[in-house]
Structure 1
Amino acid sequence: MAAAQGVRLAGTPNKDAPMTEPLRRKRGGRGGNTRRSDTRAIQQLPWEMLELIDRPTEPLSEEGVRAIDGAAMRILSEIGIDFLHEGARAHLKAAGAEVEPGGVRVRFDPAMVREFTARAPSRFTITPRNPERTVTIGGRIQVNGNVASPPNYSDLEGGRRPGTRAAFRDLLRLSQYFNCIHLMSGYPVEPVDLHASVRHLDCLYDKLTLTDKVCHAYSLGVERVEDAMEMVRIAGGLTEEEFAATPRMFTNINSSSPLKHDWPMLDGAMRMAARGQMVSVTPFTLAGAMAPVTLAGAIAQQTAEALAAIVLLQAIRPGTPVVMGSFTSNVDMKSGAPAFGTPEYMRATQMSGQMARFYGLPLRASNACAANCPDAQAAWESAFSLWAVQSAHANLVYHAAGWLEGGLVASLEKFVMDCETLQQMAAYNRPIGVTEEDLAVEAIAEVGPQGHFFGVAHTQARYETAFYAPFLSDWRNFETWAESGAVRTPERANAIARKILAEFEPPALAEDRREALADFVARRKAEGGAPTDF
């Protein structure tokens, strides 16, 4: 592949597969586009998987990795993990784990953990209703998902307020539009104006009609997961056998740190695994609060909690695609509030990458920040978080665009700002060419010590695609910027978002599938949807 393209898509689901194979995509150069609508609002990079070309940053020595592995195995074998799901405990007992009689504590022999973890693929693909949006999880490939699950939404026009279906749909449109967002994570904002019993039905319908990217389902009990899998199957026009033959969607579960897996998430993950769908297992280990204050201790606990659930999923269906999640950061020891984009978050993420590679598993991490508005703090904390996930070689990036206030707010402007950063990191990962033309000795000789390179043929042939062109930055001088209204970054981001939303065209979906989805939603609503506490 030419150096100027430099991104590949990998797709084989076994540990011994070659690292990469060429990504099929439309050509467009550095400013190329894959959809006509892209060219009216902004010029963006093409749809492509990101291949990380640098070596991962590894703060732990080989002895350090083995020390954390040893501590995790001690936690699993000596202390154990609580599984608050009788079916999960039954599966684990049948697989050889020690289940505390009459209790919920499960202990694991280290040999069993290694045996079952080895069944999981180190790389696999997920195929949505549009096969051209297939993503690869694993290897050196990094895929980005939108912000997920904030209860609140903010934009410059209306400020901070509870999420609505209208805001939910706008964020879906942005997620579909931006090529640097590869899959749909959880709800980009919770539409609290939809009743919780039927919210998942309306949300999945919107996801499957406004986007054609890989879809996520929340593991929150029986009905929500089963409904989501059926809706993804319908949207893809798949038989039951075709749906279960390859990953089509995914879920993410969190442990209730310390050392506990709850019933709703376990039940959903088990159902997804039984049908061959991907599960990301992400312990919620904030150092100093739900995990030890030391990074080594927090990562050891995170590793143990993740491996415990991964063993369960492999016991249910060997070869189930799983991802080891990292969410270890620190808290403000004065207030207890979570902190993100910190030096500790960066190192914890890099350490997590080492542990995931040690077990042959893909890694999930997040673009998180604690800032309360899309300001300089938001920019630097997200920049550090994204550098952490890149340098750790994270394969799945949650909350890649739009996260604010420690996950309590989805921001319209921050979404656009993050997509600019994601594009710049993609451009950073393009391989450096060293051909004769790249070395440009003849051009240097032509210019000599007295001239400049603006007008030479070598520059003229390359100037349009030589450098990354940002869609959000303002590079004009101060006087020109001031005379034009001194528009700052959040205001520019807002204007871009409004242009995108005004021009948005939903992806094609066969009318019979759309009707089948609508019929399913109507029937399940008539049946009451999912049970709630209110």
Structure 2
Amino acid sequence: MKAYERFISKREIENIHEHTMTILSEVGVKFEHEEALELFRKHGAKVDGDIVYIDEKMFNQALATVPRQFTIYSSKGDITIGNHSYVKLPVSGSAYLQDGDRIRAFTNEDVVNWFKLTDTSEVLDCVMTNPAFAAKQFTRDETELGFLAMVLKYGNKPAAFANPSTATTPKNQVREAYRRGIRLVKNYEGTTDKVVGSHGFNPISPLCYDHEPLERIFAVCEEGQGVWFATCAMPLLTAPSSVVGLLTMANAELMAGVVFTQLLKPGTPVIYANVSGSTDLRTVQLCMGNPETALIWYGASGLADYYGIPFRTGGAFSDAKDLDYQAGMEAMLSIRTTSEIKPDMIFHALGTMGTYNVTSFEKFLLDEEIYGYTQRLNRGIDVTEEKFCMDMIRKVGPRGTYLQGRTPKIFRDEFYMTKYLNKADPNDWQNHGAISLKEKMQEEVKKRLSSFKPAVITGEQEELLNQYIPEQYRNHL
């Protein structure tokens, strides 16, 4: 039995698909881009204004060309997506940092430190993706490509999901700017025809793709790269007021995007992601630290399994605004769910708070601990003969002690040893200053940042990248 089947059956997943086809063929999906509409017309879709209607034949033909697995090439280690690959990426795009007792806007120094944390993490498989420098003092090249060039130059891990930043690019130049970013990565990697990245896009719920993301999708497909679609709908605001209603509508959004990519370039690698949550109607805010978020992930994993498409979930989600009980409780819920589903890709794997909007360096390190806990839990109980320890039991006998000499390897293999959590005697903790976990983690963040060592790259690669990196980061971080 697959993990999602404890919450929704395969027949119920099929029922969601059947209702999805009703939405696609009768309600339609809005594509706010004339070139996209013309592509659908060319392939025989019904188009009314900017609403596209997708029938089952077109749907199935497109689905047949989606790869079940694909590899992103990197000289720092290829990344394979598919077959529960469990590739972990950090949180990205947060506007604010949880700093001590306050929340404040990210600075350029914070962006650099965040990169260092991701690069030195033993949990993450890739460096961070697409944060933005505060760009007032930078040239357009530095604004659009500076961070991308920086992670390529200094990162020891693949930058398989790093994007150019086009937030301030004129609308009529977005596609070419995005292509420039992809070509920069290709030139760095010394290839013209390999997949060197996968790029994320979000539909606008309900049932809409707007112009600028479609421009970027055109660029990605034209350059032969991967795409991932992630919807984040809010029940009763941008989605129906039930979990299955949300799952069905979101599925229609996502699969319309999948069909579009396959019409544009058959065989384009795609990742499926529904990272919707709940809505707190008291504050009209999106909530990600709720049990319904976990149920949505289970449902999304079932749908991706039904279609045979690689899929993504979230990771360490929390709505908390401080490093407190709520942050730990919600992060454990979402990471435990993620680890049980074992998706192909995890975004926001570490450090997220404030419902996507806030990042915490301290929580980043503690979230690593949660992955350690869940990894150990998922291993279960080993009942091989060696683990019965019968020789040891015979030797110690009744009323003896098993504490003899050095810690045996079998103990280290069996029992998880926390790096940061306080397991000391209460009086001992109090007698040594009663240091809070938050205070301890602030010091641990400093230690981690000081451990960063930049990657070694060739002189040609450095020359290629330095022309885009802002001067203050050109030679060192």
C-alpha deviation, 1:172, in angstroms: 0.3
- In the alignment, which of 480, 485, 502 is matched to residue 433 of structure 2? 485
The answer to whether the aligner puts 1:267 opposite 2:215 as a matched pair is: yes
**Equivalent residue, structure 2, for 1:450:** 399
| Superposed counterparts of 1:110-509, under 5 Å | 110-131=56-77, 134-156=78-100, 159-188=102-131, 191=134, 197=140, 198-211=142-155, 212-215=157-160, 216-217=162-163, 220=166, 221-236=174-189, 238-240=190-192, 244-245=193-194, 247-367=195-315, 368-430=317-379, 432-455=381-404, 460-509=408-457
C-alpha deviation, 1:196, in angstroms: 9.2
| Superposed counterparts of 1:39-50, under 5 Å | none
- Matches of 1:297 and 1:195 in 2, distance apart? 45
TM-score between both structures, scaled by the size of structure 1 = 0.81
Contact 2:89 2:349 in 1 (8 A): yes
Change (3 A) 1:419 1:328: same
- Matches of 1:123 and 1:164 in 2, distance apart? 37
Change (3 A) 1:140 1:274: same
Change (3 A) 1:461 1:353: closer
* DSSP-derived class of the 1:161 partner: strand
One-letter code of the match for 1:113?
F
- In the alignment, which of 17, 32, 36 is matched to residue 69 of structure 1? 17
- Matches of 1:95 and 1:491 in 2, distance apart? 60
- Matches of 2:180 and 2:106 in 1, distance apart? 23
C-alpha deviation, 1:467, in angstroms: 2.1
C-alpha deviation, 1:270, in angstroms: 2.4
- Matches of 1:200 and 1:483 in 2, distance apart? 52
Q: Which moved more, 1:323-332 or 1:389-398?
A: 389-398
- Matches of 1:472 and 1:68 in 2, distance apart? 43
- Matches of 1:193 and 1:451 in 2, distance apart? 70
Q: Which moved more, 1:198-207 or 1:330-339?
A: 198-207
Contact 2:130 2:163 in 1 (8 A): no
- Matches of 1:297 and 1:125 in 2, distance apart? 33
Q: Give 4+ residue runs of structure 1 displaced > 6 Å after superposition.
A: none
* DSSP-derived class of the 1:82 partner: strand
Contact 1:151 1:192 in 2 (8 A): no
- Cα deviation 1:362-419 (Å, max 9, x = unaligned): 1111132111112111111111111222233322111111211112212111211212
* DSSP-derived class of the 1:153 partner: strand
> Taking every aligned residue pair, what percent have the same amino acid on both sides?
25
C-alpha deviation, 1:199, in angstroms: 2.3
- Matches of 2:378 and 2:153 in 1, distance apart? 32
* DSSP-derived class of the 1:325 partner: strand
Contact 1:83 1:261 in 2 (8 A): yes
C-alpha deviation, 1:307, in angstroms: 0.4
**Equivalent residue, structure 2, for 1:513:** 461
Q: Which moved more, 1:161-170 or 1:416-425?
A: 416-425
Change (3 A) 1:375 1:55: same
Structure 1 residue ranges without an equivalent (≥5): 1-53, 523-534
Contact 1:354 1:392 in 2 (8 A): no
* DSSP-derived class of the 1:301 partner: helix
Q: Which moved more, 1:267-276 or 1:103-112?
A: 267-276
- Matches of 2:14 and 2:179 in 1, distance apart? 39
- Alignment length, in residue pairs? 459
TM-score between both structures, scaled by the size of structure 2 = 0.90
